[in-house]
A and B are shown apart, each in its own frame.
Chain A
Amino acid sequence: MTAPMPVVTQEIALSADDLKTRDELEKSWAYPRGFVGWLKNTSHLSVGKRYIITALVFFILGGLEAGLMRLQLSRPENAWIGPDLYNQIFTMHGTTMMFLFAVPVMTAVGLYLVPLMIGTRNVFAPRLNLFGYFTYLIGGAFLYVAFFVNNGPDAGWSAYTPLSGPGFSPGKRVDVWAQTITFTEIAALSAAVIIIVTVFKQRAPGMSLNRIPLFVWAMLVTAFMIVFSMPWVATGSQMLAADRLIDTHFFNAAEGGDALLWQHLFWFFGHPEVYIIFIPALGMVSAIVETFTGRPIFAYPVMVLSLITTGFMGFGLWVHHMFATPIPQLGQSFFTAASSIIAIPTGVQIFCWIATIWAGKPRFTTPLLFIIGFIITFVIGGVTGVMIASVPFDLQAHDTYFIVAHLHYVLIGGGLFPLFGAFYYWFPKFTGRMMSERLGKVNFWLFFIGVHVTFFPMHILGLEGMTRRIYTYLPETGWGPLNMVSSAGAVIIVLSVALFLFNAITSWRRGAPAGDNPWGAASLEWATESPPPPYVFLHVPVCTSEHPLWDETDKRPVVTGLRTDIRENLYTTMMDAEPDHRHDSPEPNIWPFIAALATGVMFITAIFTAWGLVIGIILLFFPCVKWGWPVRAEQEKRLSGERDPLALAGR
């Protein structure tokens, strides 16, 4: 009998043992088939990918809304869109971009990449991950169904009371907003818990805290920020819904409530949210800069400390959104100082990236171009941020287009540029194919020019007194020409995004094969096939340095002893990532999807009657029990390999 032929992947020669392991893993980690299988699939690769695609669909919808607004504002006294629809469109744009695109896409990239980067096969609580995705999908779909039947929210993405209260916003539009928020917060909180536990407990042996890739650090800090910030808006939006449905008085000044309470609840979440979008982007920047300069990032410990500092300080700034309200002077001074100081850790990181590029051998591929675009655009947004941290200036600029310019410079500069870069960078890993560099570079330049042409004039419009959220303006204001320039810029952005989509779709189908590690990167996500198989790693890797793939010899160190006949993950200690125990990874299961449906019924019914919550809890009970109740056939397999600590101790 002859031994099987060794199979060679891109980089690794597989022995007969490896092939046997692969066959077993292919069976135990196989994706369930068909549409129902898709509803059940708990793989972080599948969930992460669909999360990203869904978020991109919402990005396109939010972008189309922005396009409509720019069309309307391109000339004075434009009567194309009326005030009522315009109110809905700008609310939908803000809500979509913040709640349905920016936060979900960042957590989604994290959910896909974190397990790969830390060397594990699936996230902690993969069924919760699936539940989170469907909750998010249902919430987003619900918002758009409401919008298409003329019930889109119309009180702004921040839904300030008393405008959003029952007195000034009768009907169900604001309720739709409040419940959409609750849906998305559940998804974000689920993702945050998953990321925290996965990073702390499932890192590859040897990946001590000082070897964690900066993107993973960024996701960890982000996850903690989500945990402590999202409950504020989730609770606030429930209070708002209660004020509207069951006549509570949280925000009703006539009965001792307080409209400003809403602003505190909203911004205590809302300001950290900016960092929830921005910090993952910082991690993406670090990953890209390191790979395309071919050298370790300059001052890694300082970078980590900067991320953590930014995370903490992000909670101390929320009142700067409220400078135009009666805040005590001491409070104004404190929040002015805090808002200026937070520029320091970000500034430190920017200097570290510049130093890395300076000292390395930069390859100016599309991902790195987007990072250069990020540095330029974000620094401008950061500087205007320091300007409006000053109360006297803020009082002048408050609610004007200067703020619109600032927030778009920060969010597009700080979020979208790195995200586009990340997309080009990790696309080969997601799909196994390269995106076109030529189209990528055109995409970058169109986007860079489009963003500045669109948003820079808004600074001037704001200083000239153009207020935000107006559906038209008079010719005598003189704002027409700059608005026309801004709208022309929006057309360039649309072209660039269309080109990006074209590039992504055609490359997914016909791009050049990527191989395991097409960019010559250092971190573990490149230590497996592209796209990764359902079991992610044939053998769980062992991390031997901060840059495991750069420091690797002709042997790739891996773990042995994990079961291959069932889905099993290795858990390691929190600080030093020493092997600690094994635990099964839950099998695919339909009940998280059913539970998400029940959650949908609960929140949507709760718009019309408070009994919706009771109905929801009843509907949720059975799916939640089934979600975790052991299946005998699966269990028998697991029991055969169980090793409890007391049994090991001889009992």
Chain B
Amino acid sequence: MKTYEKVVDVTETPTVVFGRRASTWMGTTAFIAIEGTTLVICIMTYLYVRKNFHRWPPPPLVVPDLIRPTISALFLALTTIPNYWLHQKVRKLDKRGTQIGLLVMSILVAIAVWLRAYDFRDLNAHWDTNAYGSAAWITVAFHSTLLALEALETWVFTALFWFGPLEGKHFSDADDNCAYWYFMAIAWLPMYALIFWVPRLV
């Protein structure tokens, strides 16, 4: 008859870890892969239907406006700086710094979502105008949906860190939230270039 032999003691292992050591980080990365694939599909769709038109955008549509979308994209890119600051506070398990950082980010993501609403108007095309309009709209819309969901998540985290019952593992979750925001902000840059610049260049 066999017996158990306790050969590995894990009592001293930590319960809070960050980055790729954390399972939630890996889960977030997997979701980034899924959502990144979705954004790539939108880009490919946009480029695929391009071949069906002589001119891009097809007349009488005009090219998208540039000023507000550029401000919006730059703003989104610049939010990575306070996000980086927040990320450092999270990693140091600095509760007060994390609370402040999350509050700041809550406001910034709200502004990013508000600015994004104008991007749709500045496309100068509707989803039902033609395939160009459909492809441009869906590309902006998919990223915007993710942006809005991430904004909601940031607000929930802010509420949790200010009012909720807090545990060490929530710092690890906030760490993943920061990582996801980098993805959101940086993934938009090629999409912005495609939607708002490519029609001017070709």
Contact = CB atoms under 8 A, between A and B. Distances in A.
Interface of A: 8, 11-15, 18, 124-125, 189, 192-193, 196-197, 200-202, 205, 227-228, 230-232, 234-236, 239, 242, 246-250, 252-253, 255-258, 261, 264-265, 538-539, 542, 552, 554-562, 570-571, 573-574, 579-584, 617, 621, 625, 628-630, 632, 635, 638-639, 641-646, 648
B13 A248 contact: no
A555 B6 CA distance: 9
Contacts of B152: 621
Contact of A12 (B4, B26, B31, B128): B4
A645 B16 contact: yes
B189 interface: no
B7 A635 contact: no
A249 B6 contact: no
A582 B10 contact: yes
B15 A582 contact: yes
A247 B9 CA distance: 62
A584 B13 CA distance: 13
Greatest chain B CB density within 10 A among A234, A538, A559, A571 is at A571
B23 A201 contact: yes
B1 A558 contact: no
B164 interface: yes
A570 B27 CA distance: 16
Interface in B2-52: 2-17, 20-23, 26-27, 30-31, 33-35, 37-38, 41-42, 45, 48-49, 52
A231 B34 contact: yes
Contacts of A201: 23, 26
Given A230-B34, A643-B16, 7 more contacts: A192-B30, A197-B27, A231-B37, A258-B52, A265-B45, A555-B5, A630-B166
Q: Looking at A231, A246, A629, which has the most chain B CB atoms within 10 Å of its CB?
A: A231
Nearest to A649: B14
A18 B134 contact: no
B156 to A, nearest CB: 6
A242 B7 CA distance: 58
Given A554-B3, A642-B15, A646-B93, A584 B26 contact: no
A644 B16 contact: yes
B15 A255 contact: no
5 A-B pairs closest in CB distance = A561-B11, A256-B131, A555-B5, A248-B134, A560-B6
B14 to A, nearest CB: 5
Contacts of B142: 235
B93 A582 contact: no
Interface in B166-184: 166-171
Nearest to B53: A256
A202 B169 contact: no
Interface in B57-97: 58, 92-93
Contact of B42 (A200, A235, A625): A235
B45 to A, nearest CB: 7
A257 B132 CA distance: 8
Interface residues of B, number: 64
B128 A246 contact: yes
B169 A583 contact: yes
Contacts of B168: 642, 644
A581 B26 contact: no
Contacts of B170: 630
A12 B1 CA distance: 6
Given A124-B27, A258-B48, A228 B37 contact: yes
Nearest to B1: A13
A621 B152 CA distance: 8
Contacts of A542: 7-8
Pick from B11, B129, B134, B169 the residue with the most CB of A within 10 Å. B134
Q: Which of A197, A230, A239, A635 has the most CB of B within 10 A?
A: A197
Interface in B117-133: 127-133
B130 A555 contact: no
B135 interface: yes
Given A639-B167, A643-B13, A644-B15, A235 B41 contact: yes
14 contacts: A192-B30, A227-B33, A228-B37, A230-B34, A242-B138, A249-B134, A250-B138, A257-B52, A265-B45, A538-B4, A539-B6, A557-B8, A558-B7, A581-B17
A648 B2 contact: no
B128 A193 contact: no
Contacts of A247: 127-128
Contacts of A255: 129-131
B159 to A, nearest CB: 9
B154 to A, nearest CB: 13
A635 B160 CA distance: 13
B27 to A, nearest CB: 5
B49 A193 contact: no
A265 B41 contact: yes
A235 B38 contact: yes
B14 A581 contact: yes
A75 to B, nearest CB: 45
A645 B134 contact: no
Nearest to A641: B15
Nearest to B35: A231
Contacts of A554: 1-3
A11 B2 contact: yes
A556 B48 contact: no
A236 B44 CA distance: 12
Contact of B1 (A8, A202, A643): A8
B131 to A, nearest CB: 4
A534 B116 CA distance: 47
B59 to A, nearest CB: 12
Contacts of B138: 239, 242, 248, 250
A584 to B, nearest CB: 7
Contacts of B165: 630, 632, 635
A504 to B, nearest CB: 31
Interface in B137-166: 137-138, 142, 148, 152, 156, 160, 164-166
Given A242-B134, A643-B14, A557 B34 contact: no
Contacts of B166: 630
B12 to A, nearest CB: 7
Contacts of B58: 256
Contacts of A8: 1
Given A197-B23, A258-B131, A560-B8, A579 B13 contact: yes
Contacts of B12: 561, 643, 648
A192 B27 CA distance: 10
A486 B88 CA distance: 67
A629 B168 CA distance: 14
Given A242-B127, A644-B168, A256 B132 contact: yes
Contacts of B48: 258, 261, 264
Contact of B134 (A257, A557, A621, A646): A257
A41 B30 CA distance: 24
A630 B169 CA distance: 11
Given A13-B3, A248-B138, A635-B167, A261 B45 contact: yes
A561 B10 contact: yes
A585 to B, nearest CB: 10
Contacts of A12: 1-4
Contact of A580 (B17, B38, B41, B92): B17
A632 B49 CA distance: 53
B37 A18 contact: no
B52 A579 contact: no
B50 to A, nearest CB: 9
